[in-house]
Amino acid sequence: MPHALPRVIDEIAVAALPAAGSNGHAAVPRDPTQTRRLTELIARLKTERRAVILAHNYQEGSIQDLADFTGDSLGLARQAKATDAEVIVFCGVHFMAETAAMLCPDKTVLIPDLQAGCSLADMVTPEAIRAWRVAHPDGLVVCYVNTSAAVKAECDYCVTSTNGVQVLQSLPEDRDILFVPDFYLGSYLKAKTKRKIHLWRGYCPAHAALLPELIESLMDAHPEAEFLMHPECGCLTKQMHLADRILSTEGMVQYVNRAPGREFIVATEVGLLHRLRALYPDRRFYAASEHARCHHMNRNSLEKVAQALVSMEHVVRVEPAIAERALRPIERMLAIT
């Protein structure tokens, strides 16, 4: 009975769970007593279930605070592989949990909210990639990690925003590349590598909220601040010359550690600012826009993390035939980086 309710935590604990907001998202702001109660409950459940909690850099602060590890999708996948826990509560979005499930077939991977998807990942389909291959039989298909397992199964290489340049530079120069699905990351990689890249027209709605005008007025208000920009930013093509650094989320975390400056304008999903402020309390961080929020990431909440550990739902599984093919581009990426 692997999914029986834990010994210590029973229905009483479940009944004590406060309800999530009426929109199904976290009931924020939550009062500190409620947060403490939930955090304690999750700690007990975690021990009972022999579970580990992995949180993406874009998760709400209270989830980051109780996670065993917070990071980008690649870091989380590596942690998932390394852990000896039996259960992984993956606080992120569905494609990330799929990657963890494929890399760890012997572990149970749970996502607190099954609706936590990715608008960008939904912008490309396996059929579209098959059609491109018919037109470009010698081409290579490179997918951003923000793709479903079914799409990855059709691709040759996978990249993250941290390692995209390195992976593309390693590919044979005479091959055309189709890059899916993010147009802006693809444009950045094209400019950096000078490779012949066919760009898909996908975009991340949270990063699209970061408009050039907002960034220019923040730069005027904080002239000493360095401007750190994520390559998914919709403003990328126009603002690239303004960015002091174009970095992935982990790239930003590492860069701030060695940067001489003390102030930073951060153009990415606002969840990352919680991690930056926690790690570097002596620096100042300004969100390029407080509206740059991923509503999918924000579907996860402390309540749903607790609920996932009680009910052992929602289990993320990838069909073995898809997983076998989808792991190929991921493993090729891991071998290069």
Name the residues that contact ligand CIZ, by CB under 6 A.
Answer: 72-74, 145-146, 160-161, 230, 248-250
CB of 209 to ligand CIZ, least distance (A): 16
The verdict on whether omega for the bond into residue 181 sits within 30 degrees of 0, i.e. cis, is: yes
Pick between residue 35 and residue 161 the one whose CB is nearest to ligand CIZ: 161
CB of 169 to ligand CIZ, least distance (A): 19
CB of 29 to ligand CIZ, least distance (A): 26
Pick between residue 41 and residue 272 the one whose CB is nearest to ligand CIZ: 272
The verdict on whether omega for the bond into residue 137 sits within 30 degrees of 0, i.e. cis, is: no
Helix (H) or strand (E) holding 328: helix 320-336
CA angle 37, 42, 43 (to 5 degrees): 100
Q: How many CA atoms lie within 13 A of 322 on its CB side?
A: 13
CB of 2 to ligand CIZ, least distance (A): 30
Pick between residue 160 and residue 301 the one whose CB is nearest to ligand CIZ: 160
Pick between residue 74 and residue 111 the one whose CB is nearest to ligand CIZ: 74
Torsion of CA 126, 129, 133, 136, to 10 degrees: 180
Pick between residue 103 and residue 309 the one whose CB is nearest to ligand CIZ: 103
Is residue 299 a contact partner of residue 60, using CB atoms and an 8 Å limit?
Answer: no
**298 vs 314: CA distance, rounded Å:** 16
Pick between residue 248 and residue 301 the one whose CB is nearest to ligand CIZ: 248
Is residue 292 a contact partner of residue 86, using CB atoms and an 8 Å limit?
Answer: no
Pick between residue 35 and residue 57 the one whose CB is nearest to ligand CIZ: 57
CB of 281 to ligand CIZ, least distance (A): 22
**67 vs 53: CA distance, rounded Å:** 5
CB of 179 to ligand CIZ, least distance (A): 15
Q: Where are the beta strands (DSSP E) in 42-171?
A: 51-56, 69-71, 87-91, 108-110, 140-144, 157-159
CB of 39 to ligand CIZ, least distance (A): 24
Pick between residue 59 and residue 248 the one whose CB is nearest to ligand CIZ: 248
Please report, as a single letter, which amino acid is at residue 181. Answer: P
CB of 250 to ligand CIZ, least distance (A): 6
**98 vs 107: CA distance, rounded Å:** 12
Pick between residue 249 and residue 298 the one whose CB is nearest to ligand CIZ: 249
CB of 46 to ligand CIZ, least distance (A): 23
Helical H runs in 83-163?
A: 94-103, 126-135, 149-152
Is residue 68 a contact partner of residue 54, using CB atoms and an 8 Å limit?
Answer: yes
The verdict on whether omega for the bond into residue 314 sits within 30 degrees of 0, i.e. cis, is: yes
**224 vs 132: CA distance, rounded Å:** 46
